[in-house]
Amino acid sequence: MNKNNMTITNVQEELIDEFSLFDDWMDKYEHLIELGKSLPLIDEDKKTDDKLIKGCQSKVWLQSELNNGKIVFTADSDAIITKGIVAVLIRVFSNQTPETIVNADTGFIDEIGLKEHLSPTRANGLVSMIKQMKLYAVAYQAAQK
Residues tagged active-site: 56
Give the 3-state secondary structure of residue 117: helix
CB burial readout 53-73, b (16+ within 10 A) else e: beebebebbbbbebeeebbbb
Residues 6 or more apart whose CB falls under 8 angstroms from that of 91 comprise 11, 15, 35
